[in-house]
Structure 1
Amino acid sequence: MTRLGIFGGGQLAQMLTQAAVSLGVETVIFERGADSPAGRLTQAEIVGAWDDPALLDTFAGRCDLVTLENEFIDAAILAGLEARGLPVFPGGATLALVQDKLLQKERIAAAGIPVPAFCGVAAPEDLRAAAGDMGWPLLLKARRNGYDGYGNATLRGPEDVAPAWGRLTRGGSPLLVEAFVPFVRELAVMVVRGRDGEARAYPVVETVQREHICHIVRAPAPISAAEADAATALAIAAVEAVAGVGIFGVELFALADGRILFNELAPRPHNSGHYTIEACVASQFENHLRAVLGWPLAPTELRAPAAVMVNLLGRRAGPVGPNALRAALAVPGAHIHLYGKRESRVGRKMGHVTALGATLSEAEDLALRAADLVDI
């Protein structure tokens, strides 16, 4: 049996492990804290710091190859495993490009892919200079370790610079600034790319954010065929530009004039692709496993005309009760997933609901009805 090591033990590793069971693949979870959602699903769990030499030795000895569920691990750790001869996908070089958003943008722009204007900034004064070139508002971002709106700040004018700079530099990451994009829709595409370079894209989806956290995903996005084709081609080109292997979530902006701009990509399963579990011929998790293992990729088409996913975000702080899903399970056709997080807090991703339908409206009504009944 193949043994796949996964850095991280959260919900993405949990769903990768669930997919691995069906393919006869054993997972080895390496997580920094005990009692992780994925760690509970396997007897092969290592707990501790990812850069601990002894634990890395143990991890490497128990795995045939390695992948990851987030981009927060230092790329040098992956490169060290590769130097031992252990296959790692996505590789250390890819992660080094992707986990620093400035390097990521530079590589994507160098590939000829359209991106918003951007530049690195080393001091608050640089933002005022950037505003002279790009105009207000601006988007200030941490170059590393930002997600779900953490690590981002919108600057409406000079008065926003000092507080945003202080907040975002507190974590120690250098920053970059981007021109604000007046998009009409936020789009995303899941792209899977195999070891042999074959790439397949899932349908282009529309994502709706709430407080910088993905709230709703609509598949397929309600855009023209020309826009969908352009978004798909852009997303595949972005993954090829970073030599990605595995599943990648590519986030895009749709502009009023029909143009598509690259926003950023994630080198792992992505929230905008969770709908694929029920809605597509093969899920993003199955295709990630196929890609990193060097196996044939699976089809990515939808099983129904439309699908909508709604994130289940914590509404209060406290433990998750045993009957949290009871009322929602009475909604026929709603596929409900909880991630096994023992404690809820306001805004925390606790699970998701997916519904299929003949139309986006039908699927969204069903998914929202079930989501509203989940007691978290």
Structure 2
Amino acid sequence: MGDRMETEYGAEWLAIHRGDYQNVLLDASRRNGARILLDADVTGIEEGTGEALGKQIVLMKNKDPITADVVVGADGLWSGLREYVLGYPKPPLETGDLAYRGTFTREQLKAFKNERVNEIMEAANVQVWLGSNRHAVFYPLRDKTEYNLVLLVADDLPPGMRTAQGNLEEMAANFEGWDPSLDLIISCLKSALKWKLLHFQELDKWTKGTVALLGDASHPTLPYQGQGAAMAVEDGAILGLLLSKLQTSGISSDSKERYAQLTDVLRLYEDLRKKRTEVNVAGAVDTRHYYHLSDGEEQVQRDQELAELPASNWEGPCNFNWGDAPYQKSLLGFDSLADAERNFDAWIRRRREGGLQKDIRL
């Protein structure tokens, strides 16, 4: 995942390997006392009764049930909890695109002894090749010891098929005649696994009582702004902040009141996240349009705008959203945690004032 999406003319790209970031999260979870269960597929959620009133019972395939105050469905694109929250099935939609992906080493690229490939390797930003109905993205990882390549082309898999093994010749042929240096980089890929890209525009809701959705379970997006994982991280950070502040401010020991507090704060989480992630999903679809323009008037205008961006130091408006400074500042410069702090403080004041007025009426 990365925190910026620009062409070779843009500012420095900061990226972290997904596996490294997962290890960061795993280590932090263990340090904070998280209990991690493996081989524990969730099969359902039930509302607690009796001593478990106001809680959720998580049913699992190979483990005993777990009782929890809050359940978070961070179970991805094919979320099992999404249907529970919505009350109806909501499978993701096919976007018409698929991806080939691969990571390779610096040594593999150095072996070409190609001046242009070496220049691309040393750049600290994303390299993007744009073309009709397809594009390619290349960027460094792990302090330029590894590199990632993603090739996005038209989806030719049958409906319902998520992945399939393609062949290297077919994969490379999609970019034949584009750029000799890209041909060399593509030759580093030793597998041509096709990944169908899916998404949906928005959900009616993200929460049901004290059950909430997070990340791709609630807002899967095309990867064309480099923000899919970042949006999930924001979700988790804000949800954690809200629950922590609720606990600090005094969560009720009464089961019904605690349930009401938690339900309400999860609605606040949804309110804070839903619009922002919907803008990101729509922005990725818009980016796809500009990435994949066929030769013509709109493509010429796009290329001219992109060529003028360095002269403006990337500070001006642009019809292409990742070249548009106001759009990028809103996407990347928004302080989600500070915004959540402010909204929680306003929320807790409203609850306390409402409770005080109720006591006075009584």
The TM-score bracket by the shorter chain reads: under 0.3
Bigger helix fraction: 2
The TM-score with structure 2 as length reference comes to 0.26
Higher relative contact order (CA 8 A, sep 6+): 2
**Structure number with bigger Rg:** 2
The TM-score with structure 1 as length reference comes to 0.25
Bigger strand fraction: 1
